[in-house]
Structure 1
Amino acid sequence: MTTPKVLVVGQPFTRHTGGGITLSNLFAGWDPDKLAVACVDNLFEGNIDTSVTDNYYRLGEKEHKWAFPLSLIKKKYPSGPVTFEERQGGQKSTESTKRSLRVRLIMDYFFPFLQFIGVFHLLSRIVMSDELKHWLDEYDPDVIYAQAPTREMVLFCIAIHDYLKKPMIYHVMDDWPSTIGSDGLFKNYWKKVVERDLKTLLGRTDVFMSISDFMSEEYKRRYGRDSVAFHNPIEIDFWKKYQRTDYALAECPNILYAGRTGLGIDSSLVTVAQAVAKVNKELGTAVRFTLQTGTKPDWIDQYDCVYHNSFVPYEELPRVFSGADFLLLPYDFSDQALKFIKYSMPTKAPEFMVSGTPIIIFGPDQTALVNYARAYNWAEVVTRNSVEVLADRIKHLVQNESMRRRIALKAVEVAESRHDAREITRAFSGIICSLEGQQALVG
């Protein structure tokens, strides 16, 4: 079976974002010369995993167009093929990962304001430049694989498909369409527009992929399209190198959260801190809550039991995860957060599962994560947004070694049977190979 040439649209291969990690693992072992990536300018502000491929086209100022007045303040990036600079750890980058004050103000305040008044979706678009067309013609892909989490990217994927006329896969990572009409002026109007555009894209999609079975069920109901779920696959041998087998607790037991902070996470992290403080007060223990995040949240200093560690290299994560006493998968309980994460699966869930460390899930009910954990009993699940309830469950885990062992061993069993990269990547590549030579859908 020959390997088709694949054009990846909308997401670079990385080791620091959920979508990038999932993409890197799904395409692991693919011929680097038969992969190429086209993505927007700001996605290059970080380390790119060029071990998968280094054939990239930046959708810069010739393709990514901003209306006035944003055209005056948005940073202009050059368009075209990208040349990478070497960085430590085998990663390569073209930009600094540190956000400037200008970027923070635009992303955290100005853009949300534009979204609220209902004009954000009118202010930018991605077009097919002559340079991009030349690059596409030279590469001449057999299959298009797209991740499109915004309206402008959906429209761009339609344009790419119509230009290349090649079979296309559309892979959804989060239920971003549900957040479009959640607030702001003209929310109902934009909800209808996005739904129309998304249906147009699905009409051109040969294979529709989701991130979870729960999402597949919902999107079948919502859009009338069947989809196949592909979540983050893991190399079992890599992640079980330091697999925990001893379930006696350390003198200062450690609950580890490793991931991002901000919207959809912070509120639950504060609740966990309060619950850990309560456990320590009532049991006389010294349980630690450690956040391994990019930046240190301001609220940490209010709690003696909360500690902060910076991110560690990807290669060290198996040791870190297995070295903790508990691993935490949290979600916020707000309506906005639930809409975004309801059908998603955390990229690190399988990595946590195979570590052998007991997992605590703290988040709203009726999510793909909670449904999956309950169906296979691989985590301690807390779905009430209550310091008292959470503290009680943590106390129970601290005092019950057999319970810690049971859920940890079950998680390992499920990870090895359902998340093995060898099986998942074989199925994933089989779907792509089956599309080679097919006539593209017209829509």
Structure 2
Amino acid sequence: MSLPKVLIINQPFNSDTGGGITLSNLFTGWDKDKLAVACSAYILQDNIDTNICNNYYQLGQEEHKWMFPFNYVKRKYPSGPIEFDEKPIQNLSIPVSKLRVKVIMNLFYPVLEYFGLFHAASTFQLSPTFCAWMDEFKPDVIYAQASDRSSIAFCIAIQAYLKKKMVFHMMDDWPSIISNRGLFKKYWQRKIDAEFRVLLDRCTILMSISDYMSEEYLRRYGKTFIPFHNPIDVAFWKQYPRTDYALEEHPTVLYAGRTGLGIQASLKTIANAIQQVNEELRLSIKFVLQTAEMPEWAAAYSCVQHRKFVPYQDLPKVFSAADLLILPYDFSPRATQYIKYSMPTKASEYMASGTPILIFAPRDTAVVRYAEAHAWAEVVTENQVEILAKTIKHLISSASAKKTLAQNAQEVAVMRHDLKMVSGAFKEVICSAVEEIVSC
């Protein structure tokens, strides 16, 4: 099989972010020397997987330009190809000041956004060094992601320079919330929407992260988006098959992933519900948060237990050991707008684990629609502690309900998320964008 050379823009391969995991699985089986990645320095941080690709270009100060006086505030990163050592997983983190990060995120960016400067404060440019690196690689096709105005323009510039077909993949509906604050929000909404449509017109193939996103984008942009979500090696996730669904002496409800926008409030509601169930049934259910940091509110709940992230290869054992896996989304209008069409990377991983899944999220979201259509999870769509507690109580106490949910989920994982099947379809779509490739 002769595969095309792919230049990947704005997403590295790794095993600790949703985007990195999805990318790694979609490009499974690709020739290593036919992949190259160009990313901003702040994205190229921890655990870069060089088993899949070791040709990386760091987009730094030669490409990312900040206007005066912000160029004196923002950190300057070097530009150029990255030299890796022999280790398969690379840590490129540079120590940063937590105070500096806090000031930038909580003061600097909000001020720029309020006065309408955020979307004009920085741009990406094609530097001679970056162009030489692309010329040396000679890609057949571009696979790109974007998340803001500057990356939209950068993708357009790369495609115009290389004159190659471009595949664009949407992971979240960031265009809906990219400019909904500040004095000039209406102006920037119109401008960014127009620029985004130019990018879509430049693409040969468009991809989404869910069926619901594809439906919405056909309506909104008049374009067909092919859905590709995170495929999984089912055998890897079924290493620790669960056969007993009886009530444990110390049951655990597990959430593993990020916190922050779109999730934080619902995690707190879940803690309240579990606390209530423990009091009513005199149980000691533990709500385990496997997250980067323990949320500040968690200390107020005796049921909450924090764990640091574990290595990716240990996740099947961790997921199978839990009594219930939680997929939460917040119910606020802003959060719902952001996550409405998204699909959690861990959803397919949860499905294959053999542990029943509980979704706590607004009804009009991709994950709820998908779960209700295929019965792979119990769903709570009302933001009420009492209703959530009642559902948790039922699931924890009913072995048959847990077993049925878990078995349904595993069947869906095999039928719709199998790594070989989905990555094979992904290869075919990428190849279809490229002319004069011998065979794919």
* Separation of aligned partners in 1, 2:4 and 2:95: 33
Q: What is the DSSP-based 3-state SS (H/G/I as helix, E as strand, rest coil) of the residue aligned with 1:385? A: coil
**327-336 vs 238-247, which deviates more?**
238-247
* Separation of aligned partners in 1, 2:247 and 2:53: 43
CA RMSD of aligned residues (A): 1.4
Matched with 1:79 is: 79
* Separation of aligned partners in 1, 2:253 and 2:94: 31
Q: CA deviation at 1:185?
A: 1.7
Q: CA deviation at 1:437?
A: 2.3
Q: CA deviation at 1:194?
A: 1.0
Q: What percentage of residue pairs aligned between the two structures are identical?
A: 54
* Separation of aligned partners in 2, 1:110 and 1:389: 40
* Separation of aligned partners in 1, 2:86 and 2:16: 17
Q: CA deviation at 1:318?
A: 0.3
Q: 1:323 pairs with 315, 321, 324, which one?
A: 321
Q: CA deviation at 1:100?
A: 2.8
Q: Relative to structure 1, is the Cα distance of residues 99 and 344 closer, same or farther in structure 2, using a 3 angstrom cutoff?
A: farther
* Separation of aligned partners in 1, 2:51 and 2:407: 33
Matched with 1:61 is: 61
Give the TM-score normalised by structure 2. 0.97
- For the Cα contact (< 8 Å) 1:169–1:206, is it kept in 2? yes
- For the Cα contact (< 8 Å) 1:151–1:194, is it kept in 2? yes
Matched with 2:38 is: 38
- Once the two structures are superposed, the pairs formed by residues 14-413 of structure 1 within 5 Å of their partners are 14-85=14-85, 90-96=88-94, 100-413=98-411
2:7 partner amino acid: L
- For the Cα contact (< 8 Å) 1:272–1:387, is it kept in 2? yes
Q: How many residues are matched?
A: 437
* Separation of aligned partners in 2, 1:97 and 1:372: 41
1:423 partner amino acid: M
Matched with 2:3 is: 3
1:125 partner amino acid: T
Matched with 1:424 is: 422
* Separation of aligned partners in 2, 1:263 and 1:171: 21
Q: What is the DSSP-based 3-state SS (H/G/I as helix, E as strand, rest coil) of the residue aligned with 1:16? A: coil
Give the TM-score normalised by structure 1. 0.96
Q: 1:415 pairs with 401, 413, 416, which one?
A: 413
Q: CA deviation at 1:93?
A: 2.1
- Segments of structure 2 that go 5 or more residues without pairing to the other structure are none
Q: Per-residue displacement from partner, 1:324-376 (whole Å, max 9, x unpaired)?
A: 00000000111111111000000000000000101010011110000000001
- For the Cα contact (< 8 Å) 1:2–1:433, is it kept in 2? no
- For the Cα contact (< 8 Å) 2:292–2:309, is it kept in 1? yes
* Separation of aligned partners in 1, 2:205 and 2:58: 25
* Separation of aligned partners in 1, 2:97 and 2:86: 21
Q: CA deviation at 1:436?
A: 2.2
Q: What is the DSSP-based 3-state SS (H/G/I as helix, E as strand, rest coil) of the residue aligned with 2:232? A: coil
Q: CA deviation at 1:68?
A: 1.8
Q: What is the DSSP-based 3-state SS (H/G/I as helix, E as strand, rest coil) of the residue aligned with 1:170? A: strand
**154-163 vs 45-54, which deviates more?**
45-54
Q: CA deviation at 1:407?
A: 0.8
- For the Cα contact (< 8 Å) 2:247–2:397, is it kept in 1? no
Q: What is the DSSP-based 3-state SS (H/G/I as helix, E as strand, rest coil) of the residue aligned with 1:263? A: coil
- Segments of structure 1 that go 5 or more residues without pairing to the other structure are none
Q: Extract structure 1 runs of 4+ deviating beyond 3 A.
A: 96-99
Q: CA deviation at 1:86?
A: 6.0
